[in-house]
Each structure stands twice: as structure tokens, then as C-alpha cells.
Amino acid sequence: MPLIVEDGTLPTGANAAVSVADVDQFAADNPLTEGVAAWLLAATGTKEAGIRTATRYLAGLPFKGAARGRLPFPRTGCSETGGPTIGDSEIPWRYQEAACMLALKALAGPLLEDSDTGIRSVKAGPVSVEFEPGQTLTTSYTEAEALLAPLLRAANTLDAAPIFVPSTKPTAV
């Protein structure tokens, strides 16, 4: 499957937030970022797979507004918290840079894994959590998620205006 980068024009079959060249440049500009060494040694097909994995991860995040195509961006109704509005055909730099970071990490393994709750027991003092065999804490990509934070909806909020129905007085029977 060819890598088709979303550039804001909604190309058919878009499956990537960034190109291999974009991640190559990110790696060159950020040589101390985790995963750069593996990225530089990887074959093009492996790099493309890492970009697709990163793009799928990003698609699961609660961005503000509504996607216009298959991928999270471009979208309508998105603005940075306390910052500029993102144009309807714009791909924000924060999204692209996070995609690059995650593509590097994706070469080391899945960004998301299937799991159950996995907790077998919890102890209050001293605090202890025991997981079912094969279960672990969920991995968090703090740097990428912090970079994306201004583009994400706040936890437990909706991106639509609430609908209010005026109350009516019941009629006497």
C-alpha cells in the first residue's frame, strides 16, 4: 500500500499525517529524540509502516472540531486553546511534529495494544497494584500529547453546542 500523505487537499486514500522525508528531517533536526537511531537504519517500507501506525494513533485522539476527511486533519472548527484558529485546509505543525515523534516510537513496537482492565488487586497502604498476567500500565506519549494539548478537547466535553428544549407547563386535566 503506498503512503499517501494528507496535505490539506483531501487526497483519495490518504493514510499518513507526514511523509518519510518529513520524519527524516525531524530526525535530523532532533537527533536526541528517542527512536532516531532506529529510524535512520530502517528501510523505507518500515518507515512508512511507522508513519501509518503513528497516524492511526493520532486518529484516536479527541481533537476539537470535525474532520473533513479520513484523517484527523484537515478539520473544521478547530483552534488552539488560547491561540489561532486552524484553517479548514490547514495541517497544524503540532499535529505533524507529533506524528513524526510517534513514527519514531512506532518502530520499537505498537503504540496501542489490545488489553482488558488487567487489574487483579489494589492495596491501600503502602500503595500497590497487581496486574493480571500479561497486563501492564498503558503507555503514554507525554511529549507528543503535550504538544497536541492545545488542539484537543478537554476531557469529558463535547464539541457541539448544547441543545436546550424550553420547558412547557403541564396542562391541567
Q: What residue has cell string 493520532?
A: 58
Q: What is the pLDDT of residues 53-109, one digit of tens each?
A: 999 999 999 999 999 999 999 999 999 998 899 999 999 999 999 999 999 999 998
User: Residue 110 has what pLDDT?
Assistant: 86
Q: Take residue 114 and report the three cell numbers written for it.
A: 489490545
163 pLDDT more than 80? no
As a whole-number percent, the residues of the chain with pLDDT over 70 amount to 74
Give the dihedral of Cα atoms 24, 30, 34, 40; nearest 10 deg: 30
| DSSP, res 5 | B
Please, what is the average pLDDT of the chain? 85
User: Residue 120 has what pLDDT?
Assistant: 55
User: Residue 171 has what pLDDT?
Assistant: 63
37: left (phi over 0), alpha (psi -120 to 50) or beta: alpha
Q: What's the whole-model pTM score?
A: 0.76
